[in-house]
Amino acid sequence: MLQKNINVRPQPNTDFKIIATDSSEDKAKALNVSASLEASFLCGLVSVKGSADYLNNKKSSKHQSRVTLQYYTTSRFEQLTMEHLGAGNVKHCNVFQESSATHVVTALLYGAQAFFIFDREVSSNENHQKIQGDLQASIKNIPLISVEGQASLKMNEMEQEKIDKFSCTFHGDFALENNPVSYVDAIKVYSELPKMLGEHGENAVPMTVWLYPLRKLDSAAAQLVREISVSLLRRAQRIMNELHNCDIQCKDIMRDNTAIQFPEITAKISNCKDLCSEYKIVFQKHLCRLLPSIRGGGKEEQELIDALNDKERSPFKGALITKYLSEREREMNVVRSYIDIMKDVPVLSSSNDLDKVVLKASNNYVIAFALTSLNKKEPYLSDLESYLKAQSCNNGEQISFDQNSSKKTEKWFSSGDATTLTRATIQAFLDFKEANKGRKNIDFCIASIPDELSTASSIHVYERGRLISSQYELPSKPPMPVCLSAEHDCIHLQIKPPDRGVSCVDSYCISYQFAQSSEWTDVDTNGVSDQVTVNQLKPHKEYCFTCKAVCRPGVSLTSETTSFFRTRPCAPPGAPTVKKGESDSATVVWDVPLSVGEDVLVTGYVLEFRECSKDHESERPWKSVKSTNRECTLQPLKEDTIYTVRVFANCGNDGESLPSPEALFSASFKVKESNKDGSGLFLNQSLRIKKGNPSIQSLKLHKKMAENISFNQYVFGRKVEDVKNKVILLVGSTGAGKTTLINVMVNYILGVKWQDAYRFKLINEVTNRTQAESQTSIVSSFELYNQPGFQIPYSLTIVDTPGFGDTRGIAHDKLITEQVKSFLCSPLGIDHIDAICFVVQSSLSRLSATQKYIFDSVLSIFGKNVVENIIILVTFADGKDTPVLEAIKAADLPCQKNKKGQPTHFKFNNSAVYADKNVEELKTSDNDSDDDDDDGGDKLTELVWDKTFKQMKAFFKTLGTIESKDLSMTIKVLEERERLEKAMTSLTPQITAGLSKLNEIKKFKHCLENESVNMGKSVNFEQEVEVVKAKRTPVNCFTMNCNNCFFTCHSNCFLPEGDSVQTCAVMENDHCNICPENCHHSAHSRENFMWTYETKTETKSIKELKDNFMEAKGKFMDTKQILDALEMEFLGIEEKLMKLIRLSSDCIRRLDEIALKPKSLSTAEYLEILIKTEKEEKSPGFEDRIVGLENMKQETLILEKIAKGENLLEKERKIMVEREKRMKTVALKVLKMKKAVSAL
């Protein structure tokens, strides 16, 4: 019946629209949805599909740009004629009685619509408005492109890059195979939409419905009591939008990198989001119940107004939520700004990450910048939670909320004071990190660490995993040091504390730099004193200084550099002493400055003296006197008056030194006449150890180095740096008089006269030693610094050595040589030498074996460059002849020669120096008498004294002209000798093992040659044979061993564990240079034992010997073949032994190139040493090894004769003929074997 009453007419229409907003109102308007229907949708009373699903699509982020393209088309209009609703035509009359409907459909408009939603993410550094404009412009082109076709879709690279960032979501009334997801897809779909309705619009859907109220047909029909006012519905809609926007904002914040780095921020925002979502559901349910009741007349519209007002008075008020989220965003912005400043510092997001850094084994210290307020409790979130709990307890009814109930406190991120303090803390943190960036045991990090005692931030310092302070104040860069005063070797500085972190400063580190240098030297202070002295500077040099504060975990930034300050040109002179005093004058002397700057010349001295004030009177003015030398007479002086005197060194244009220590003296002071000059000046530097005529004075020495070194060093006097130093080394046999000669030298140097009633001793002999023992136990050096009164113009270092050849034997002599080597090579010893003095007794007519050994041992230490520095000192020279000189010439010992070709020598008779004088002599010498009543013996002694001291004067004059020699070549000789001795040590076991093997082969051959005779006596005839056994001997070091040869190739091998044996020093081209077979490196291993060898006597039958030999060769052999094989093996080992012995001999000859006395041996001499060693050790089988060595020695001597072109004896020619025959036989056999092998 309805079909007859329907009026259908075509109504084609197509339109499109650009929607630039995402509000619910604009979406409802686009869909032509009434306010009441929209409210029902918001409450969840109505579900939507198709194009209406556009209402559900909302932006997920405020960082999202959105533009929507709406496509709208209609096809036909269908309308009822209303005749079927006339009186008596209504079929379903029950709807009026049941009140189940309020309206009836009277017309439909068919068509379809679609929404293309284009989204684009906008980054923080992009302009949101510009992106929105670009997006909107691109969307407007879609309808035009769809009309013009794909040809108009040509875009340049930049345009293509823009549209690639668009995403597309489709909501429509069309059935699509694939929804569009991109801009290009949307264009394609848009162009195909008209076809999808069908040719006659059969696929169109109802777009608009016209309704007619049933009440107008029958008064009994149901009707809507009232419509809810649009303003209230819009208000409810805005509330729902606010809650949705809150959800979006929370998600945006949680996606922010800062929130990810600090989970505390994420936790707060997540809590807020959950609470708002919960409230949204509660509010939506309340509207769902309320709106239908109001429409049906069950409830009044006032209840909706009350519900909306209650929401605005609740903690979920939009303004409060916005304020809270804005605060969180500001908090993140503040934190982000701090992180950006510290961009190179890692951020630790959890306590576990912090623990990993703090407990890391390599970190002694961890400095953490702690954000202390991120985890503070939020009162607003508590209010939200409490409000929801209270509402649920009241069955969903709205409750009141006092918006002023929360305490209003200033937020840490809004506090200006907190921001200022935090910025200062950050700067201190970064400065400290920069200052300690080179250290490997310190780490820096940023972390959120709750701390109620600190607002906003603080510095946490951890030491080896333990927190030592949660409010550590890192020291800032200290101010520049201030120079207070300068001395010749130091500068006094004043240190000013840093502006920040003073309480944590433990000390200061002062760095200084020499003007012409680029290197800085650091000096640490002891504590936090404000005045520091920088020592060990050089005179007359310019230095600049910086300072940094030192605290427990590290150091602060370095202060600004000071300008350059110059040290004084020289040290102060020594304290003045009175040399001679009169009633109105005093002569004072003083030492020169100990240290004088480079290119600085002391031109004179300035003395200042004044009377000492009494009874706290005002200081008297200084009187000044100039002097060009180290002695000055002060006058006029008042008798019995105490004066103070001090001395300045004048360096011309370079300035003056600081004053010397002040000294007190009186004008009435007298000096003993006998001590007014000369050696008497040194009496106060000595101690009397023996009374007599003369008395013995021991010089006061002080030790230069510690006790734990292998030599002694003593010093006499104060060092004067501008005086050159001569070094002499004295060596000689026990009893040669070295110690006495040194003491005589000292008496000459100090200016002792025969008439003086005292003698000095530098070395006090040990009296409990016999004359057969050396009086000196270890090498000792004595440095005599030049000072007033010296008879030589230089300082002198005397190196005294223990005497060779005493009763303790050759082992002790070797120990002496090692002591001398150690002294010469030690950095604490000497760096040059001027004279090597051999002390010999005059009466020696020839050099004994011991004397030769002494010369060889000492000379072997030095290089060839010291020949001209070797001098002979002859003792006990009481006659005209000196036999020892002829002995030295005969021995051809290298030394300096005079014009006559004689060894440069000096003769001394030291007996007169310490000889006793009678009392009468003492009196006459004190009275300067020249009477001839003295004893004739004393006169003779005096003559001997004069002669000895003349020779001493000549010696020191010669010493002054000798050129100093650097010890670098001597050290090179010692190093080369040590290396060769080690090489010899490794060759000796090979030689011993080879000799034993030769003897074993000879005995085996003898058994085989006599086999028939021995077997006739007994079938099981046994023979004693010597067998060389290799055994493993544990050692306390690593060795390189060959497991094929059972040989130790490298003792004391320092190859690092884990390294390939191929890199050991004995390997070359993957093979060993040392082991007998030169095996491949793979046969070697690094172990804790050495291979040693012993010869054992074993009883074996001939059959056993033959079987063992054949088993070793791997083939059956008859007796003749075994003998031939043994002969070849014997000759091969013999040749290898000769090669090893020649190699050992060559090692020793190598020293000829550099050593002064290398103690070279020929091959024959080396064989003789091996023979003597075998005789001394007498190890099993030594007799046979000696025979073998003697034969080798004889052949070697013959070869040396041939090499020299000498004629051979008949016996020697026979030996060489036999040797040549043996070699030919071996050569022929080898040739036959090669041919047989090649034939195979």
Task: Give the per-residue pLDDT at 88.
Answer: 58
Spatial distance between the Cα atoms of 461 and 368, rounded to a whole number of angstroms = 6
Strands, E, within 957-1103: which ranges? 965-966, 1022-1042, 1047-1050, 1067-1068, 1071-1072, 1084-1101
Q: Is 1194 part of a structural domain of the chain?
A: yes
- In the predicted model, is pLDDT for residue 689 greater than 80? yes
Instruction: Give the best-scoring range by mean pLDDT among 250-259, 407-416, 1039-1048.
Output: 250-259
Smallest CA-to-CA distance from 516 within 599, 590, 589 is with 599
Same domain, 361 and 317: no
Task: Give the per-residue pLDDT at 769.
Answer: 43
User: Which residue would you say has higher pLDDT here, 551 or 984?
Assistant: 551
Spatial distance between the Cα atoms of 281 and 304, rounded to a whole number of angstroms = 17
Last residue of a domain, one of 175, 191, 223: 223
Rounded to the nearest 5 degrees, what angle is found at the Cα of 16, between the Cα atoms of 15 and 21? Answer: 145
Helix (H, G, I), strand (E, B) or coil at 531: strand
Q: Return all residues near 473 (Cβ < 8 A) that are at least 6 apart.
A: 428, 459, 500, 501, 503, 504
Six-digit token string for 1055: 């190859």
Q: Return all residues near 649 (Cβ < 8 A) that are at least 6 apart.
A: 569, 570, 571, 572, 573, 592, 593, 602, 605, 656, 657
For residue range 13-33, list pLDDT tens digits in order. 888 888 888 777 777 788 777
10 Å CB burial of residue 715 (0-12, 13-18, 19+) is middle
Give, rounded to a whole angstrom, the gap between the first and last alpha carbons of the chain. 121
Smallest CA-to-CA distance from 989 within 1047, 1066, 1065, 1054 is with 1047
Is residue 821 within 8 Å of residue 861, measured between CB atoms?
yes
For residue range 1074-1102, list pLDDT tens digits in order. 777 788 888 898 888 888 777 677 776 66
Q: Is 32 part of a structural domain of the chain?
A: no
Rounded to the nearest 5 degrees, what angle is found at the Cα of 503, between the Cα atoms of 498 and 508? Answer: 55
Same domain, 461 and 562: no
- In the predicted model, is pLDDT for residue 1053 greater than 80? no
Same domain, 840 and 810: yes
pLDDT band at 444 (very low <50, low <70, confident <90, very high): very high
pLDDT band at 1208 (very low <50, low <70, confident <90, very high): very low
pLDDT band at 656 (very low <50, low <70, confident <90, very high): very high
10 Å CB burial of residue 710 (0-12, 13-18, 19+) is exposed
Buried b (16+ CB within 10 A) or exposed e, 871-880: bbbbbbbeee
Same domain, 878 and 811: yes
Overall average pLDDT of the 286-313 stretch: 80
Lowest mean pLDDT among 657-661, 805-809, 1041-1045: 805-809
- List, in sequence order, every residue forming a beta bridge with 371; answer none if it has no partner: 448, 457
Smallest CA-to-CA distance from 106 within 259, 232, 214, 234 is with 214
Same domain, 353 and 422: yes
Q: Return all residues near 321 (Cβ < 8 A) that are at least 6 apart.
A: 242, 246, 272, 276
Overall average pLDDT of the 693-718 stretch: 78
Element at 341 (helix H, strand E): helix 318-341
Task: Order the strands of the 586-589 sheet from edge to edge.
Answer: 577-581, 586-589, 631-634
Task: Give the per-residue pLDDT at 152.
Answer: 45
Task: Give the per-residue pLDDT at 150.
Answer: 46
DSSP state of 150: G
Q: Is 1014 part of a structural domain of the chain?
A: yes
What percent of the chain is predicted at pLDDT more than 70? 73
Task: Give the per-residue pLDDT at 423.
Answer: 93
Is residue 664 within 8 Å of residue 642, measured between CB atoms?
yes
- In the predicted model, is pLDDT for residue 848 greater than 70? no
Same domain, 1035 and 1158: yes
Q: What is the CATH number of the domain that holds 939?
A: 3.40.50.300
Last residue of a domain, one of 670, 699, 727: 670
Task: Give the per-residue pLDDT at 647.
Answer: 95
For residue range 497-527, list pLDDT tens digits in order. 999 999 999 999 999 998 888 889 999 998 8
Lowest mean pLDDT among 342-346, 662-666, 852-856: 852-856
Count CA atoms within 13 Å of residue 818 on its CB side: 8
Instruction: Give the best-scoring range by mean pLDDT among 226-240, 285-299, 833-847.
Output: 833-847
Task: Give the per-residue pLDDT at 473.
Answer: 94
What percent of the chain is predicted at pLDDT more than 90? 22
Q: Is 35 part of a structural domain of the chain?
A: no
Same domain, 1016 and 1080: yes
Query: For all residues of the chain together, what is the average pLDDT?
Result: 79
pLDDT band at 106 (very low <50, low <70, confident <90, very high): confident
Six-digit token string for 1019: 């079938």
Spatial distance between the Cα atoms of 168 and 184, rounded to a whole number of angstroms = 10
Q: How many domains does the chain have?
A: 7
The label of the residue with tokens 């059956």 reads 1116
Helix (H, G, I), strand (E, B) or coil at 524: strand
Helix (H, G, I), strand (E, B) or coil at 755: coil
Helix (H, G, I), strand (E, B) or coil at 1193: helix
Same domain, 491 and 603: no
Smallest CA-to-CA distance from 641 within 587, 582, 589, 588 is with 582
Overall average pLDDT of the 460-476 stretch: 93
Strands, E, within 616-677: which ranges? 623-627, 631-634, 642-650, 663-666
Q: What is the CATH number of the domain that holds 359?
A: 3.40.30
For residue range 557-596, list pLDDT tens digits in order. 999 999 999 999 999 998 888 877 777 888 888 888 888 8
Strands, E, within 733-771: which ranges? 758-761
Smallest CA-to-CA distance from 932 within 920, 950, 945 is with 920
pLDDT band at 442 (very low <50, low <70, confident <90, very high): very high
Six-digit token string for 14: 């197509």
Six-digit token string for 539: 């005179």
User: Which residue would you say has higher pLDDT here, 896 or 728?
Assistant: 728
Q: Is 1013 part of a structural domain of the chain?
A: yes
Lowest mean pLDDT among 80-89, 377-386, 575-584, 675-684: 80-89
Q: Is 405 part of a structural domain of the chain?
A: no
Spatial distance between the Cα atoms of 470 and 448, rounded to a whole number of angstroms = 12
- In the predicted model, is pLDDT for residue 180 greater than 70? yes
Same domain, 424 and 466: yes
Task: Give the per-residue pLDDT at 1064.
Answer: 82
For residue range 360-416, list pLDDT tens digits in order. 998 999 999 999 999 888 888 888 888 888 877 766 555 656 666 555 678 888 888
pLDDT band at 91 (very low <50, low <70, confident <90, very high): low
- In the predicted model, is pLDDT for residue 950 greater than 80? yes
Last residue of a domain, one of 966, 984, 1011: 966
Spatial distance between the Cα atoms of 854 and 874, rounded to a whole number of angstroms = 15
Phi, psi (degrees; rounded to nearest 5) at 835: -150, 135
Note down the domain range covering 1026: 974-1206
Q: What is the CATH number of the domain that holds 658?
A: 2.60.40.10
DSSP state of 216: G
In SS3 terms, 598-629 reads as CCCCCCEEEEEEEECCCCCCCCCCCEEEEECC
> What's the Cα-to-Cα distance from 433 to each of 367, 371, 476, 497, 800, rounded to whole Å?
9, 18, 11, 20, 57
Q: Return all residues near 1123 (Cβ < 8 A) that are at least 6 apart.
A: 1005, 1008, 1009
For residue range 723-769, list pLDDT tens digits in order. 688 999 998 888 888 889 999 999 999 999 998 889 999 987 654 44
Please spell the DSSP secondary structure of 1064-1109, one letter per residue.
STTEETTEESSSTT--BGGGEEEEEEEEEEEEEEEEEEHHHHHHHH
Task: Order the strands of the 758-761 sheet from edge to edge.
Answer: 686-690, 695-699, 758-761
User: Which residue would you say has higher pLDDT here, 308 or 404?
Assistant: 308
Q: How many CB atoms lie within 10 A of CB 1225?
A: 14
Task: Give the per-residue pLDDT at 481.
Answer: 95
Q: How many CB atoms lie within 10 A of CB 1057?
A: 6
Count CA atoms within 13 Å of residue 402 on its CB side: 4
Same domain, 500 and 431: no
- In the predicted model, is pLDDT for residue 199 greater than 60? yes
Helix (H, G, I), strand (E, B) or coil at 49: coil
Smallest CA-to-CA distance from 75 within 198, 211, 170, 192 is with 198
For residue range 1122-1180, list pLDDT tens digits in order. 667 767 766 666 666 566 566 656 655 665 555 555 544 455 665 676 677 677 767 76
Same domain, 210 and 238: no
Is residue 515 within 8 Å of residue 543, measured between CB atoms?
yes
Task: Give the per-residue pLDDT at 1230.
Answer: 47
The label of the residue with tokens 């809004």 reads 414
Amino acid letter for position 1068: E
Six-digit token string for 625: 């006197």
Spatial distance between the Cα atoms of 1238 and 55, rounded to a whole number of angstroms = 101
Is residue 387 within 8 Å of residue 282, measured between CB atoms?
no
DSSP state of 876: S
Same domain, 876 and 795: yes
Lowest mean pLDDT among 259-268, 673-682, 834-843, 1002-1011: 673-682
Residues in the chain: 1240
Smallest CA-to-CA distance from 43 within 57, 54, 55 is with 55
Do strands 663-666 and 577-581 pair parallel, antiparallel, or not at all (unpaired)?
unpaired
Instruction: Give the best-scoring range by mean pLDDT among 460-469, 572-581, 702-711, 1042-1051.
Output: 460-469
Overall average pLDDT of the 445-450 stretch: 94
Spatial distance between the Cα atoms of 585 and 579, rounded to a whole number of angstroms = 11
Spatial distance between the Cα atoms of 978 and 1079, rounded to a whole number of angstroms = 26
pLDDT band at 544 (very low <50, low <70, confident <90, very high): very high
Six-digit token string for 1153: 């190139």
